């Protein structure tokens, strides 16, 4: 899969202007470098990723002024009876994010990917909890992820994650840039509800998913090490 195929289609249709398209193409190698870095630091292959040519925002309800910008999402799909995880990376992140920010967000989504695969390996993924409040959703997100220092053997990458995700991701400078250079120019925007991030797969679908034993073993090792760190925090 060409990770830029949707961006190129949007540019061909004149939905994305030349200057923004050129900027994303110029800065996309930063994203590729981040993916390579995560693979090297974790020893696990990064899932399929693509650039979404729109600003993705989420609001608790249509009448609320409260919203959050989703710079990336981990999306599980069933395609031709085959299970696949796709990382959706928003074009504004590629265009305006600093290197450390892009790499931290990619690493964060990679942790979501591991959590998803852990649940699938244990047949736990019938329905995922969802919160109607953005703050509560961030809290839930932070309490269920694998421990970054267990997964990534890269001190600089870990520092990026720690700084960007102390309690949910916020980067006000990046958000200001995105609003000014993307939203205020009326470039493409996707408004999703929080429950679209919920994963729901039937028992039948789960039973068809085949995972490589070595990958399951790796996940179990990471889970055990993460669990020990969480217990030390509690006691």
Using only C-alpha atoms, the chain has a radius of gyration, in whole angstroms, of: 18
Cα distances from 17 to residues 21, 64, 159, in angstroms, run 6, 30, 35
Cβ(4)–Cβ(91) under 8 Å? no
- How confident is the model over 97-113, as a mean pLDDT? 93
Confidence category of residue 68, pLDDT binned at 50, 70, 90: confident
Residue 220 has pLDDT above 50, yes or no: yes
Residue 64 has pLDDT above 60, yes or no: no
Q: Where are the domains of the chain?
A: 5-234
| pTM for the structure as a whole | 0.86
Structure tokens at 191: 């408004």
Lowest mean pLDDT among 12-26, 27-41, 152-166: 152-166
Residue 215 has pLDDT above 70, yes or no: yes
Half-sphere exposure of 178 (CA within 13 A, CB side): 25
């Amino acid at each position: 899969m060409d990770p830029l195929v949707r961006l190129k289609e949007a540019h061909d249709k004149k939905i994305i202007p030349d200057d923004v398209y050129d900027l994303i193409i110029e800065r996309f190698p930063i994203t590729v470098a981040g993916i390579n870095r995560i693979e090297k630091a974790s020893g696990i292959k990064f899932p399929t990723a693509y650039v979404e040519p729109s600003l993705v925002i989420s609001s608790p309800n249509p009448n609320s002024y409260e919203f959050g910008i989703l710079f990336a999402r981990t999306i599980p799909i069933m395609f031709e009876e085959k299970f696949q995880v796709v990382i959706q990376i928003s074009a504004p992140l590629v265009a305006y994010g600093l290197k450390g920010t892009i790499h931290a967000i990619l690493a964060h989504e990679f942790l979501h990917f591991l959590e998803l695969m852990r649940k699938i390996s244990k047949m736990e993924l019938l329905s995922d909890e969802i919160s109607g409040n953005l703050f509560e959703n961030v809290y839930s997100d932070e309490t269920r992820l694998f421990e970054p220092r267990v997964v990534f053997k890269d001190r600089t990458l870990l520092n990026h994650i720690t700084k960007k995700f102390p309690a949910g991701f916020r980067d006000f400078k990046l958000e200001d840039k995105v609003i000014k250079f993307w939203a205020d120019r009326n470039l493409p925007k996707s408004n999703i509800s929080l429950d679209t991030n919920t994963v729901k797969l039937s028992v039948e679908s789960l039973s068809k998913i085949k995972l490589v034993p070595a990958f399951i073993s790796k996940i179990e090792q990471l889970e055990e090490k993460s669990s020990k760190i969480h217990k030390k925090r509690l006691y």
